[in-house]
Amino acid sequence: MNDIIIDPLSMMQSTVVMVLSCFLGVFIANLFLELGFADLISKPITPLMKLANLPSTFSIPAMISTLDVRGGLSMIGSIREKNSIDDSAIIAYKLVSRPFSTVFFLFRYYLPVSLAALGFYVGSIYIVLSFALAFICMFFGIIYGKLKVKRREISFENPNKSKKKNNVIVSALNSAFEMTKKVFLRYIFVMLFVNLLAFFGIFDLISREIDIYTKFFGFSSNFAVIISIYIVSPLAAVLTAGEFLKNDLIGIKECLLSLLIGRFLFTALMDYPRHSLPFYASIFPIKLAFKLFLAGIVANAIAIAFLILVVFLF
């Protein structure tokens, strides 16, 4: 019943990664701002932010998220606190910035794993579908921003222009330390709460039900196997799908469908509750964290439903 509980070592590693990502992301972002690089960095994607009624400055964390997803979102949390940004703007940003965060995963996961496991043809299709998912979410973010966000620019006044570079670095370090300390404490609290849910078997119960329904709708047992594995380990699911393809145990269409469904279920049942929600709650108020959580799930559900239709027609 408790196989999905986050073990202490895994939780410690996750916390260390989160702390380092948050600290470095906020430090680099604040350093760029203090040194006056904000305009230079934001220019390429400023029109996109304006299209969604978001401040031009949001382009900086979006760019940073291509290298450090959590660092970029940590910077958004810092900007929100200093400028009283509405919740709707944060939600719109999270959706609009999806393609940028997808670039971060491209080199860590999609290219080295998907192409090797699924082969060039199927792996390439899977990567294209992954980016299509991100751009559909970006489209939703633009529409949401136009409907809900009242555009206002945020000007960053640099109080350290007359100070030495050493003082600028110290200021950026202090900001990063304060933000990381706040994030760390809240992250630990929420992670413990989620682990408590896992202890009582909530995630295991949901996973078992999914396996029953996939078989009910007439898919092969291998289809159900890939989805079930994906819920626990996306990497293992892709590798398993690759082996099934090589041995002609599953077709290309069924393989792609199982990976898409598995990704959504993993995101909705495992990744968002266990990782994204705790991190959101460590940066933003709980109410906003849940809004981001729900917005992400709804956007993914609609986008993946559309992509499943596309694969069926492929």
Per-residue pLDDT of the chain (314 residues; tens, 9 = 90+): 444 445 566 567 656 766 776 677 667 766 766 666 655 666 788 899 999 999 988 888 888 787 677 778 888 888 888 887 899 999 999 999 999 888 877 766 666 678 878 888 999 999 999 999 999 999 999 999 999 998 877 764 444 444 555 577 787 788 778 767 776 776 676 567 656 766 776 655 655 666 667 666 667 777 877 887 788 778 778 888 888 898 888 999 999 999 999 999 888 888 888 778 888 988 899 999 999 999 999 999 999 999 999 998 87
pLDDT of residue 17: 65
For the chain, what percentages of helix, strand and coil (3-state, to nearest 5) are there? 85, 0, 15
- In 53-162 the beta strands, taken as DSSP E runs, fall at none
pLDDT of residue 289: 93
Helix H or strand E segment including 91: helix 87-96
Sorted by sequence, the CB contacts under 8 Å of residue 84 that are 6+ apart come out as: none
pLDDT of residue 3: 45
Burial grade of 312 (CB within 10 A; 0-12, 13-18, 19 or more): exposed
Residue 162 DSSP label:
T
At which residue do the structure tokens 């809240």 appear? 186
Q: Are 53 and 150 in contact (CB under 8 A)?
A: yes
The domain segmentation of the chain, as residue ranges, is 8-313
Q: What pTM was estimated for this model as a whole? A: 0.73
pLDDT of residue 2: 45
Q: Count CA within 13 A, CB hemisphere, residue 8.
A: 0
- What is each CA distance from 49 to 87, 179, 210, in whole angstroms? 16, 24, 38
CA–CA separation, 314 and 312 (whole Å):
6
| Selection from 130, 64, 132, 146 nearest residue 100 by Cα | 64
